[in-house]
Chain A
Amino acid sequence: MAEVFARMVSLIMIAVFTQNAVFDRALDANVAIYASRKTSHIMGFAICITVMTTLASAAAYPFDLMLLSSKYGYLFMPLIYTGIVSVLYLLGLFILWRVFPKVFYKVKKYAHLAVFNCAVFGALFLNYNYGKGFAGYVGYGFGTGAGFFLACFLLNVAHERLNSEKIPKVFRGYPITLVFIGIISLALNVLVGYTAEF
């Protein structure tokens, strides 16, 4: 039991720091930039993505075991993951509609941004390589969401400065934010002495 818990915690740490979805793999950097513009958006996006990556990872585990060991199984994984995420997305919206109708009408236009994105699908595709076991899948899925929150928080802290008058007009906003993410990515790589092989 302690071993399973330790593996789960270590995978959470890996997904948050060494293989951060945004800083290390650039998964959903555009959604992170969008979400970090307003402090109120960050929590909503982070909670939604974390819940989705954790639940979808748990649901994907038996399908990965069945299909990914076969030669052409990987071809059908996008369809299966889409099915899993879609069911969770519609179920989540249905629960919100029934239990918190006000919240439902507030988020229904933007909920898809936090669900159908590269961070959620990227976590599912990467789970097979890094997850190793059900606890590992859940840990890696949760860590991906937590890593997304960390990225949004760091971007939010710098948002005002990156959009200030001091930045040349052509760099202001999106271009300088990418350079900023690059510098944090470099710092994290140096800190952990690790880089994804590409």
Chain B
Amino acid sequence: MGNNNRSFAYDGLFRQNVVLAGGFVTAPVIVACTTMERSLVLVISFFMITYLSILTCKFIPKKIAYMFRIVLYTIVAAAYFIPTALLLNILFPDTTNSVLLYIEITIVNSLLLAKTESRFYLIPYRKMITDALVYIAGYALAAFAVGFIRELLAYGTLFGFKICTAIMPAARSTFFGFVLVGLLAAACRAGSGYRKKDSRLAVFKFKKER
């Protein structure tokens, strides 16, 4: 039971990662995460818009039909976009402008519009707070991994600091983003599969010892 709970709690990191496993939120990572700074901007915007919307929309009564609730979810997310964009424009003005489209479309991401109904709003509020946070952490993990690889390959830098020579300028293009996220998705699937086997083996050993 304890193992099941732990596995459930970390679902959002690998097994149900919103970018690498579920494919719920792919566009910003595939196209816009070409540097670590862009990844950081996208993670902050995703956290502020999606996480706060998930927490807020929990209070929208279930009595309202889903076709109307989804409109309200989007309106709440669009309202959170305003402070998010203002804050990011102060912190990272140039980067925010260059990825603004991908911040704007965060208001209709599937984590908010679909996962809320199938997972977050089916569990108690306190548990939901941490569960949603783990999903956001999963998004951050994927965004930073993609940003790290692409910045290093395309520019030879990390957060703007020179590390090596740029060996693959094409790494900043959209097609490379698709291929890289596809490869990382396969790696994530393989990793979470092996972890499952490991945990099953651990349970088996534990039972045998008893």
Identity of the chain B residue whose Cβ is nearest the Cβ of A29 in the assembled complex: B26
Tell me whether A75 and B24 are in contact (CB under 8 A).
Answer: no
Tell me whether B67 and A108 are in contact (CB under 8 A).
Answer: yes
Chain B stretch 75-90: residues in CB contact (< 8 A) with chain A: 75, 77-79, 81-82, 85-86
Identity of the chain A residue whose Cβ is nearest the Cβ of B188 in the assembled complex: A175
Q: Is there a chain B Cβ closer than 8 Å to A112's Cβ?
A: yes
Residues of B within 8 A of A86 (CB): 71, 74-75
Tell me whether A90 and B67 are in contact (CB under 8 A).
Answer: yes
A116 to B77, CA, bound (A): 12
Residues of A within 8 A of B113 (CB): 112, 116
Residues of A within 8 A of B185 (CB): 174-175, 178
Q: Is there a chain B Cβ closer than 8 Å to A66's Cβ?
A: no
Tell me whether A198 and B31 are in contact (CB under 8 A).
Answer: yes
Q: Is there a chain B Cβ closer than 8 Å to A171's Cβ?
A: yes
Q: Dominant SS at the A interface?
A: helix
Residues of B within 8 A of A178 (CB): 23, 26, 30, 178-179, 181-182, 185
Q: Is there a chain A Cβ closer than 8 Å to B159's Cβ?
A: no
Chain B stretch 171-193: residues in CB contact (< 8 A) with chain A: 172-179, 181-183, 185-187, 189-190, 193
15 interchain pairs (CB within 8 A)? A25-B27, A26-B178, A29-B23, A75-B86, A86-B71, A109-B66, A118-B109, A121-B105, A121-B107, A174-B23, A178-B178, A182-B179, A183-B179, A186-B175, A198-B174
